[in-house]
Amino acid sequence: MSDKPVKKKRVNVRRPDVMAKVQAEVEAHYRSEVVDLVKARGNQLTIGNTTVRLAQKFGFCYGVERAIDLAYASRRVFPDNNIYLIGEIIHNQEVNAQLQKMNIVSLPWKELTDDYDRLTEDDVVIVPAFGAPVSYVEKIQEQGAQIVDTTCGDVMKVWRRVKSYAKDGITSIIHGKAGHEETRATASHALGPEKNGQYLLVLTLADVAVLTDYLINGGSKEEFMTYFSGKTSDGFDPETHLEFVGVANQTTMLKSETEEIQGLVGKAIRERDGNTDKFKVFDTICGATQERQDALFGMLKRPMDVLLVVGGYNSSNTSHLVEIGEKELPSFFINSADCLKSLETIVHFDLHQQEEVECSYGGILNREEPVVIGVTAGASCPNNLIEDTIVRAFELRGISRDQVLAC
């Protein structure tokens, strides 16, 4: 008989007595008086010649709120146990730092290190909102540690879809970022329960062009595999595994891009087979991502001078808000109010250079005439960080926090 501990069930920390305390704690950490005030004023506040306009939907989504609640609840339910977290609970420095203060220790998420070998039955491991690869959860269960699973229901919906593809012998074409936690987890589920499913990850339209060209014209298998190195399941063979494909996507992608990719792959299959019998598609963009993108499109219908998008630089849904904004006006991806250095200078994450850079606003903020500053935030950004940004923007224009609150 194995001397490994018996697998433990996932723990439910959502006890009514605990949740009441947790909600008060979470509110104290992340609520914002200023954001509440701007919302109460119809999401727009004008003081003197400065207007700050907030998107109709921004910031924390239901999945993130739930994950944070469960992480806080874990500490209350297990006050004396070691509590670990696979990687980050969400893509936000402030929230992750808060969990560290609660002595919730982050474990590596890019590989199963020997930290996982040292887990015991007394330990608790939190699975983050974007989920974790199947092998990680199995390893934790083998160690007998207790699991608090905060995986968002919308992510699990994608998993169900790719698992059903695997069951039916359909290869999953996953539109997502290969290095993103959610896509890594989804890819592991695309192998299916028998671990014999197949997947291919695509991110850009250039990736899709390579895929559709191969679907229609065939070509060099070696070149195809070199191009998609690290983005396929083990044993993937384009000659056999592209016969029947199903598209799914990371929940936080740009909807228009995902739709374009779905259309292109479907069109290629039709061109190859004369029909789309061997093509399946399932839009798995989550409601919260969709709402934030739609709210930004709505906001962009009215003139603004600049857009500030607040969120963690590794946040996928936030980066797509920046992509939408920068097509229309100067848009800056900032992770805190500290990025607003002065009336002339801003530090922001440049999506094209993929690094944080310092640059000029181009004279947008330091002029006498009225200025409209748009603000939105990704699904992992708490309201207190949005408040700091609003207040800092007003302060740069000579308006104090007290003046904002007095409105």
Which residues of this chain interact with ligand SF4, rule CB under 6 A? Answer: 61-64, 129, 152, 154-155, 251-252, 286, 288-289, 317, 379
> What are the two backbone dihedrals, phi and then psi, of residue 351, each rounded to the nearest 5 degrees?
-65, -30
In the block, residue with structure tokens 């490994």: 4
- Closest CA relative to residue 388, chosen from 77, 57, 93: 93
Q: Quote the CA–CA distance of 354 and 362 in Å, as a whole number.
A: 21
Which residues, other chains included, contact 55 with Cβ-Cβ below 8 Å and sequence gap of 6+?
43, 292, 295, 296, 298, 299, 374, 375, 376, 377
Tell me if 144 sits within 8 A of 135, measured CB to CB. Answer: no
Distance of closest approach, residue 34 Cβ to ligand SF4, in angstroms: 23
Q: Would you say 145 or 254 has its CB closer to ligand SF4?
A: 254
Helical (H) or strand (E) element with 25: helix 16-30
Q: Would you say 215 or 377 has its CB closer to ligand SF4?
A: 377
Q: Is 94 a catalytic residue?
A: no
Q: Would you say 236 or 282 has its CB closer to ligand SF4?
A: 282
CB-nearest residue to ligand SF4: 63
Q: Would you say 182 or 387 has its CB closer to ligand SF4?
A: 182
Q: Quote the CA–CA distance of 109 and 185 in Å, as a whole number.
A: 11
Distance of closest approach, residue 121 Cβ to ligand SF4, in angstroms: 29
- Measured in residues, the chain has a length of 407
Selected catalytic residue, list 65, 182, 222, 358: 182
Distance of closest approach, residue 118 Cβ to ligand SF4, in angstroms: 29
- Closest CA relative to residue 390, chosen from 334, 349, 350: 334
Q: Would you say 184 or 241 has its CB closer to ligand SF4?
A: 184
Distance of closest approach, residue 371 Cβ to ligand SF4, in angstroms: 31
Which residues, other chains included, contact 97 with Cβ-Cβ below 8 Å and sequence gap of 6+?
none
For residue 228, what are its two tokens?
Answer: 């998609």
Distance of closest approach, residue 177 Cβ to ligand SF4, in angstroms: 13
Q: Quote the CA–CA distance of 105 and 250 in Å, as a whole number.
A: 26
Q: Would you say 143 or 380 has its CB closer to ligand SF4?
A: 380
Distance of closest approach, residue 93 Cβ to ligand SF4, in angstroms: 17
Q: Quote the CA–CA distance of 287 and 62 in Å, as a whole number.
A: 10
| Helices and strands: H and E segment counts in the chain | 15, 15
- Closest CA relative to residue 181, chosen from 106, 114, 246: 106
Q: Which residues are catalytic?
A: 182
